[in-house]
Each structure stands twice: as C-alpha cells, then as structure tokens.
Chain A
Amino acid sequence: MSTTELPQLTRKDFSSDQEVRWCPGCGDYAVLATVQSTLADIGARPESTVFVSGIGCSSRFPYYMNTYGMHTIHGRAPAVATGLSVSRPDLDVWVVTGDGDALSIGGNHLLHALRRNVNLTILLFNNEIYGLTKGQYSPTSPLGSVHKSTPMGSIDRPLNPVSLALGAEATFVARSIDSDRKHLSEVLAAAHAHRGASFVEIYQNCVVFNDDAFAAVTGKDTKQQNQIRLRQGEPVVFGPEGERAVVAGEDGSMRIVPTAEAGDRVVVHDATREDPTTAFALARLAPSPTGPTPIGIFRAVEGPVYDDLAREQVARAKAAAPADLRALLEGGNIWNVG
C-alpha cells in the first residue's frame, strides 16, 4: 500500500472514543499504546486495518482501536481472521488473543492458522493466568501454580507458546515484553512486514491475579541478568557485561556458559534459517520465564502464503472459464419438453 500522498498519522488516529477499561496498572495499556504508535509509525491506515480478538481481558483490545474490529467468541479469532484475510487481500488483519484464548480453547485454530501460513499478525498476550474469569491457572501457568481452581497446585505441564508456534512451523515467531516499548515496537513492525502468519508472544503482567509473573525478565535488578536478546547475525550473549553466552551442545540442545569459556562455540543468531531446529532449541532454553529467557525474533522465513495460494486458484479458474451461470445450469445431459 502506498502511503506517500497520505498524511502521517499519529497514535491518536488509532485510538477509539471508547474508555479503556482494563485494571489500573494492567500490562495491556502499555501494549495498546505501543501498537497504536507503531501503526502510525509504519504508515498503516485505520480503514485498512482490522483487529480480531477472541474472549478474555486482552480480547477487549479491538474496542479501543479506531480501526475496523471484531470481538468474536472464545478461541476462534484466528479462524474468523482467516476468512477475512483470505477474502480481502487489501487488508491488514491482526489477531489479539491471550494464553487461555489461544492455547486452551482455541489451540486448534492457532495451530492451523500458523501451519497454513495465513497472512495474519497474531499477538498473544501471555499473562499465565485467566484474568476475566478472576484467576484460574492457564495453559502457560507453571506446574504447581496455586490459584482458585488449583488450591493444591496445578498439575498441568505448561505450554511454551514459542515452542508451539515453531512446532507448527510458523514462518515468523517472536517474543517481547509489554513494558519494553522500544523492543515491542521493533518486533511488531517486523511482524507486520512479514508476509504470512506472524506470531508474537508478549509477556504481559496481570497486576491483580498474577503480579510479577515475569519479574525475572522485567525487574529493574534482574532483567539484564535474564533477558537473552536475540539479534540477527550477532552472537547470543547476555548479562550486564555480556558475560554469559549460549552455546550449542553436540546433541543440538543449547546451554548457557560463561562467555569466557565459550570461545567460538557461541551461537550466532540466524532467524532466517529454514530449519527451525535451532530456533526450537533456543525456545527450550527457558521453559518458563523465571531465569535467562530469549527475547526477540526466533524465526523469520519465507513460505507460501495460504491467502495467495487460495486467490491464485480463483484467479486461475477465472482465467480458464467465464462466470457463465447459464452454462453452469445447463451443464450435463439436457432435454427439451414442449
């Protein structure tokens, strides 16, 4: 879409007239602001942008966007968005979902949107809790989480959303943090620019039911110790002085060693690698974000886009035969009476 003749929009142009009603201090406010300003920065147009959400706190998101939007039903946003995206190539279709919406009730749809590579930008707000239903454990809550429905601790092993997306061979997989405006904005811009399904997990703090779940990677004193920033083409080292490094073991798994000992074994990050094995190994470094955790773009590869293939078939059929209704109805064996 050419935007050269159009006026530069600002964050305000993407804000609707609805009062934002998340709990005070909710991480969703920060994400909303960053999405709005990023859209303005990348030259998106409100009339060509659609936000589709499911059910949950984060799924109220479309109401606050001055774009087209659909607040749908629990878990089904990727499927609704697929129908819209396939039938309307001119639109930017975003999906906003949460860990319960996308990974529990809607796990099936997320999986299929990713493996089909539908041209969607999917933002998964992961707060490791059910917020709207007031605090039950979610598919990303750590084993043993004590919440209302699990007074003796949850006995479900949690999902790692990035691992799941890579397992579905998603072509763009990233992770960012609600409060890190700069990083989130960069990741969103890259996700939006990617053709095909882009999946972005956003660590999002729920102040009411699961405060500080991501303190290890967001806390002022701990984040430098724990954020493993993935930068394209650069060695994966982290820590205040870059004193720790990620190296690949002989079995393909990755581990963290002091940079001084790593030598030339330090993994150099390459998100464009076709084979998702290294990206997966990076994701497995941190099954849950309580220690050193990779942040950034895990994978960004080209792949056939479902929308393009679907439309290409329609275009090919149209080129091969006219839309002649009379000929259709008169197909087959015909006879005349009278």
Chain B
Amino acid sequence: MSATTTPSTSTGEPHRPVELHDAVIRFAGDSGDGMQLTGDRFTTEAGLAGNDLVTFPDYPAEIRAPAGTQAGVSSFQLHFSDHDIHTAGDAPDVLVAMNPAALLKHIGALKPGGTVIVNVDEFDERALQKAGAMTNPLEDGSLVDFRVQEVGLTSLTLRTLEAEIADGDMTRKEAERCKNMLALGLVSWMFSRPMDATEEWLREKFAKRPVLAEANVKVLRSGRNYGETTEAFAFTYEVPAAQLPPGRYRTISGNQALAYGLVAAAQRAGLPLFAGAYPITPASDILHELAKLKHFDVTTFQAEDEIAAIASAIGAAFGGSLAVTASSGPGIALKTEAIGLAAIYELPLVVVDVQRGGPSTGLPTKTEQSDLLQAVVGRNGEAPVPVVAVKSPGDAFDAAIEACRIALTYRTPVMLLSDGYTANSAEPWRIPDVDGLPDLSTAFAFATERNDADRFLPYLRDPGTLARPWAVPGTPGLEHRLGGLEKAPDTGAISYDGANHHAQTVLRHERITRIGAQLPPLDVDDPTGDADVLVVGWGSTDGPIRAAVHTLRGNGRRVAHVQLTHLAPIHPDLEEVMRRHRVVICPENNMGQLALLLRARTLIDVKAYDRVTGAPFLSSELVDVIERLGGDALEGER
C-alpha cells in the first residue's frame, strides 16, 4: 500500500481518504464463508472504479473441508492500483480474517504495519482449538506488529437482521451466512468504493428470494455504516483510477476469457464449435461457460470420461466442427493416445490443459506449470504437436484464438496451456474490437472436389503449410478413410514400409517446425537494447517477471525479458536472442521443464529457478533471483 498523500492526523476530519497508488487486500475465511464471492464483488467494484487489478483466489480441494480448521480456509487476494500492475501483490496491506484458522494461516503474509480485520465473535476456545492455536492471538501479543481491528462480524450481522429472524423471514443460520457482506461493506467503505453495483447484483442473484436479497443489502450497508460511525478506523483510503490504454473494459477470469476466445475463433472461422469435456478442477469452468453459449452454435458434450471427451471432439472435427476438449494434467494424461491419433489424422483440434500441481491427483486447486513436457513430448512415438501458452487471464482470449488459428491452418491438434492461477484469477480486460479479430475463415477451406485425375488424395499436401485437405463426410466423391496406422504419401493408405515411415516421421516434424517459421518476429522486451541478462519465461509467470524486471530497471539494472507464447515449435528467433545475452535466466513453477528444452535445443547453459508451492511467484522473489543469477552482467559495464 503505497501512499501518495500523508494521512491527515487532524481529529476534525478522521475519514478523509488517504490517496494510495495501490493496495493489496486478502479475504480469508472458512470454505463456507463466501470468501471467493466477497473477493469477486470487491474486484468488480475496483474494476468499475477504473483500477488496474490482479486477483489470486486460493481454496482447498475439499468442497467443505472440516469447518474451522486451517485446512478448510479459503482466501481471495486482490491487488488494485492506479497504475499498470502485473501480479496479485506480494504481501497484503489488509487482511480480513473470518475466524482464528484464517488469521493463523494468513497473518504471516501480512505486511508489517498492515491492517487485520478479525471477526472477534469466532474467537472462542473451541474455535481456537480447531484452528490449532495454543493461545488466543488476539490476547497473546503476537499481533503487535499489525493494526488489529476487532469487529463482531457475526453479531453485527445478526443484530442487523433481528427483525427478519423474529418475523420468520429467514432462519438464524441464513442470517449468519450474510456476514461476508458485512465484511464487504466495511472494506468497501474503507476504500471509498460505491456499492451500487453490488446491491444490484445481490438483487439479481437472489431474485427468487427477495427477502434474502434485501437482507444481504441491509447487511452490506450495515458494514459500511459500522465503518462510518465507529471511531475505530483512523483512516479510509482511495486508490484512483489507473491510466490504462483507452477503451472499454471489464474484468475477466482466465477460464472465461479462454471460453470466449474459443467461441470467437469459431465465429470468425464460420464453424460450429464442439466441446467434449469431462469435469475436472480447475478446467470445468470452461465447459460451464461454453454450455451457456449454445446460441453461438456451440455443442457441449459432457462425456463419460476424459478419453471419450477427446474422442468425441475428434469425431466432430472429422465432421467439420471446430473441436475442443478441455482438462487438466491427469485428464490430459488419459487423452494422450487420442492426441496422437489426431496428430496422424491431421485434423484440427484444440486440447486445453489448465495445469495444476502433480504428480497423479497432486494439488487439484493449486497452480503449477506442471505439464509443459507432457504437452511438448508426452506421447508415444514421434508425435509433434504445437503448444501455445496463456500469459494472463485476458491473454487467454487471444491465446485461444491463436491455438484455433494454428489448428485450422495446419490441420493439427494444438495444446493450449493455461494454469490454475490464470484460470481463476481476474484482471481488467480491454474488450477487443470484434471486427479486428483474426479472420479464421481464410485459414482453411473444406475440400469440395477431387484433387487428382479420377480420385481423391486425402494426404496430398499444401506446399506452403504442408496441411492436407479437410474433406468432410457428406461431400460426394471425396470418401476416404483415416486411421492410426502409418500412411503412404498422398493416398493415406496403410503402409508398413520402413523407409516410408522414416519419411512420414520427418514430414510430421517438418509440418510443425514450419509453423514457427511463419510466426511474426519474437517480441523482446529490452527498452535500452543493451541488456546482458535475459529472463525467459512462459505462461502465467509473465506478470511476476514483468514486475520484477520493471523494479530492477528502476534500480539501474539492465535486463531483457521474453515471455514465450509458442512453446512448440519454440520461436525460431529465440536461440539467436539467447545468444545475444551473457546470462539467460528461466524461472518456472515446475522443476525446470522449459530450461531443459532450451538447454537441449540450444546447448546454452540456462540458469533455472524453480518453485512449486502451488502459488505464483512473488515479484520481490524474482527480483532477488535475477539479482543473484544475473550478478555482474546486470551492471552497466560492457
């Protein structure tokens, strides 16, 4: 929380907002306390106020982990600012802790001097015991470094709804459940946020039970009034609007943007969209989003398993749909054989992998860049497949369109890598001009006529893209059979010939390599153009790397940054860019998967930095890493 004005200490005006450049707030409570929803609403308020923002939702894998325990704590962090930001913030300025477990689990992250709002009603002996507290942190002096605001969130909520309970409009339990709105009202007041949009949203959400809607609105206002009337809070704050590029904005999460990107791609290609999927965390929301968009000629098929999900998509691709399947690591493992089938069929298909911690079931709700190698090389036989990565929630829209472009242009399955962090976090998104989106109808044309004197050759290739014709059933004269067995050239007939297998294998590699050669030049971020240190990242580390690089440059360090969108084939410019720098650093939320590929392909000794704790990098962490690994090369001398 960085201030632009010194807080007024005049007692006459205790609540004149202190202007801040940015603030980080974290809501933490039991899984059932509605923390994700509270965070979402505050995010919308920040977006509507014109802030730049990044969020980080973090929740347990269990739907209702034992109440009151640290294992059951769900949290939502929001970083909002008056300038361009790239991370959800390293340490919160304000922590809202709905119970002792939430306090104990998250207090360590709070900035020294930060504010912690605790629901004091929940600090009885039993709750403390469940949370694993030896002593009461509110009394044992452990919070001495923080500004502690003890608020009776539960009792205030119940008092607000006394009449509704007495009249039998709602049960005491239902009333108590509104306490997250009290916290939201209080925090909204603290940061001078108007609440009209939230009130409107509540009335819409509970349209079927107006009593609940009005109760929530009442509690929300009660939270604001509590802040306004009590003397407990010395200051309120204001984070002015950010200077974002002009345009129309909304907040969007990665899964939502990815789903919209798929729909946009299908619309721009003039094709129906077919999505085969099997529910899996953290990818299911893509299926949920698409299921709401059937009016865009979208068919969603919730299959019996991951294999059927991709198999159905392959069937739909043969039939002429833009076909996708979305899953996460374990599901992708099950789809592996079918991805190979799509590769030899040479049909367009997009396989979305919203990565999470592994191995096996691993950490379903925690983010990790776990599957780069699975995506690039994790198949039987030589089965090269292009891989595209998502950098941020908003970028998921563009990355999805890019994956579809490659799939349609080159007739190949494409792996699209997102991750749990990107999927669930949100940011302001400048809404693109629909007419400016890539026109994918030019990427392909269904074959309509025979391409040889008296027959159809399903594997006769376009000399530029090496793509084979996409001839869909229903077209007379183009009847042909696809199969997983090795193909003879042109005819696609079964061939067991060894020399032909070698030639076809080389061809399948060349097909994918050529995609790289036809990409626009690699985007290298190096403002001075003379950096000796290069940071290479991919996917969702874009934000923290950017923030770290920005800080380092502010300290007079010279450092360049490349964030890869295309992981297979790796952009052909990259090797030359890497050779221009004395030190190449590769930070990843895995055990060095990109570093391994880069070393293998360039023989350059990439310095890896790896962490897999289920949380994204902090920018301060990467500042230290780049300082340490970059060493003298960050200085000005040549």
Looking at A84-92, A171-179, A243-251, the stretch in contact with chain B turns out to be: A84-92
Whether the Cβ atoms of B319 and A328 lie closer than 8 Å is no
Closest to A84 in B: B315
Question: CA of A120 to CA of B264 in the docked complex: distance in angstroms?
Answer: 31
Mask of A296-332 contacts with B, CB within 8 angstroms, 1/0: 0000000000000011011011101111011011111
CB atoms of B297 and A87 under 8 A apart = no
CB contact list, B410-438 vs A, under 8 A: 430-432, 434
Q: Any chain A CB within 8 A of the CB of B636?
A: no
- Asked if B308 contacts A79 (CB within 8 A), the reply is yes
In the complex, A49→B246 CA distance in Å? 53
Contacts of A72 in B (CB 8 A): 311, 314, 341, 483-484
Q: Which residue of B lies closest to A337 (CB)?
A: B244
Check B298–A333 contact: CB distance below 8 A: no
Instruction: Select which of B244, B260, B311, B321 is within 8 A of A87 by beta carbon.
Output: B321
Size category, B interface: 35 or more
Taking the complex as formed, is B301 at the interface, i.e. its CB lies under 8 A from any CB of chain A? yes
Contacts of B479 in A (CB 8 A): 46-47, 66-69
| Any B CB within 8 A of the CB of A188 | no
Asked whether, in the complex, the Cβ of A71 is within 8 Å of the Cβ of B250, the reply is no
B308 CB contact (under 8 Å) in A66, A68, A109, A314 = A109
Q: Is A70 within 8 A of B475, CB to CB?
A: no
Chain B residues in 8 Å Cβ range of A76: 307-308, 311, 338
CB–CB B473/A83 < 8 A: no
Q: For the complex, is A18 an interface residue (Cβ under 8 Å from B)?
A: yes
Given contacts A337-B245, A338-B245, contact A68 B320 (CB under 8 A): no
A201 to B197, CA, bound (A): 61
Closest residue of chain B to A18, judged by CB?
B493
Q: Are A87 and B249 in contact (CB under 8 A)?
A: no
Q: Are A87 and B272 in contact (CB under 8 A)?
A: yes
A residues in contact with B485, CB < 8 Å: 71
Dominant secondary structure at the B interface: mixed
Taken residue by residue from 219 to 258, chain B's Cβ proximity to chain A (1 for < 8 Å, 0 otherwise) reads as: 0000000000000000000000100111111111000000
* 0/1 interface trace, chain B 467-493, chain A, CB 8 Å (1 if under): 000000111111111111100000001
Q: Which of A62, A86, A323 contacts B481 (CB 8 A)?
A: A62
Per the bound structure, the CA–CA distance linking A333 and B474 in Å amounts to 44
Q: Please state if B319 and A87 are interface contacts (CB–CB under 8 Å).
A: yes
A152 at interface, CB cutoff 8 A: no
Taking CB atoms and an 8 Å cut-off, the chain B residues in 263-316 that contact chain A are: 263-264, 267, 272, 274, 276, 293-299, 301, 303-305, 307-308, 311-316
A3 CB to nearest B CB, Å: 13
Which residues of the other chain, A, contact B27 by a CB distance below 8 angstroms? none
Pick 13 A–B contacts, CB within 8 A, sort by A. A72-B311, A73-B338, A79-B307, A83-B301, A83-B316, A84-B315, A86-B301, A87-B321, A90-B474, A314-B298, A321-B295, A325-B296, A329-B250
Answer whether A320 and B263 are a contact pair too, CB < 8 Å, given A70-B482, A83-B313, A333-B47: no
Nearest CB on A from B348, distance (A) = 13
Are A47 and B318 interface neighbours, CB within 8 A? no
Q: Which residues of B contact A314 (CB under 8 A)?
A: 294-295, 297-299
A325–B264 touching, CB < 8 Å:
yes
Task: Name B483's closest neighbour in chain A (CB-CB).
Answer: A71
A69 and chain B: residue at smallest CB distance: B481
Determine if B330 is an interface residue (Cβ-Cβ < 8 Å).
no
In the complex, whether A52 has a CB less than 8 A from a CB of chain B is yes
For chains A and B in complex, what number of residue pairs have CB atoms within 8 angstroms? 209
For B249, what are the chain A residues with a Cβ–Cβ distance below 8 Å? 334-337
Please name the residue on chain A nearest to B305 by beta carbon: A108
Cβ-based interface call for A80 (8 A): yes
Which residues from A are CB-within-8-Å of B477? 47
A338 neighbours in B (Cβ, 8 Å): 244-247
Tell me if A295 counts as interface (CB < 8 A to partner B): no
Taking CB as reference atom, which chain B residue is nearest A72?
B341
Q: In residues 149-167 of chain A, which contact B (Cβ within 8 Å)?
A: none
Give the docked Cα–Cα distance between A84 and B311 (Å): 10
Q: Is A81 an interface residue (CB 8 A)?
A: yes
Judge if A11 is at the interface, Cβ distance under 8 Å.
Answer: no
Q: Which residue of B lies closest to A21 (CB)?
A: B494
Contact A87 B50 (CB under 8 A): no
Given A66-B479, A86-B301, A317-B295, also A52-B493 (CB < 8 A): no
Q: Which residue of A lies closest to B45 (CB)?
A: A333
Q: How far is the CA of A79 from the CA of B312 in the complex (A)?
A: 5
Q: Is the CB of B312 within 8 A of A83?
A: yes
Contacts of B241 in A (CB 8 A): 337
Could you tell me if B473 and A91 are in contact, using CB atoms closer than 8 angstroms? yes
Q: Is B148 an interface residue (CB 8 A)?
A: no
Q: A63-B481, A84-B316, A334-B250 are in contact. Are A323 and B295 (CB under 8 A)?
A: yes
Given the complex of chains A and B, what is the CA–CA distance between A325 and B259 in angstroms? 12
Minimum CB–CB distance for B261 against chain A, Å = 10
Complex CA distance for A108 and B592, rounded to whole angstroms: 37
- B 34-49 contacts with A by CB, 8 A: 44, 47-48
Check if B246 sits within 8 Å of A337, measured CB to CB. yes
Min CB distance B313 to A, Å, is 6
B337 interface residue (CB < 8 Å to A): yes
A72 to B347, CA, bound (A): 13
Residue of B whose beta carbon sits closest to that of A71:
B483
* Residues in A whose Cβ lies below 8 Å from that of B50: 335, 337
Query: How far is it, in angstroms, between the C-alpha of A65 and the C-alpha of B475 when the chains are bound?
Result: 16
Determine if B274 and A87 form an interchain contact, defined as CB atoms under 8 angstroms apart. yes
Task: Tell me the smallest distance from the CB of B490 to a CB of chain A, in Å.
Answer: 14
Q: Does A50 contact B (CB under 8 A)?
A: yes
Any A CB within 8 A of the CB of B562:
no
Residue B531 at the chain A interface, CB threshold 8 Å: no
Knowing A87-B321, A88-B320 touch, does A70 contact B483 (C-beta < 8 A)? Answer: yes
The verdict on B186 contacting chain A, using a C-beta distance below 8 Å, is no
For window 53-112 of A, CB contacts with B under 8 Å fall at: 55, 62-63, 65-73, 76, 79-88, 90-91, 108-109, 111-112
- Specify which of B48, B247, B473 is in contact with A68 (CB 8 Å cutoff): B473
B323: CB under 8 A from chain A?
A: yes
A323 CB contacts on chain B under 8 angstroms? 267, 295-297
Q: Which residue of B lies closest to A90 (CB)?
A: B474
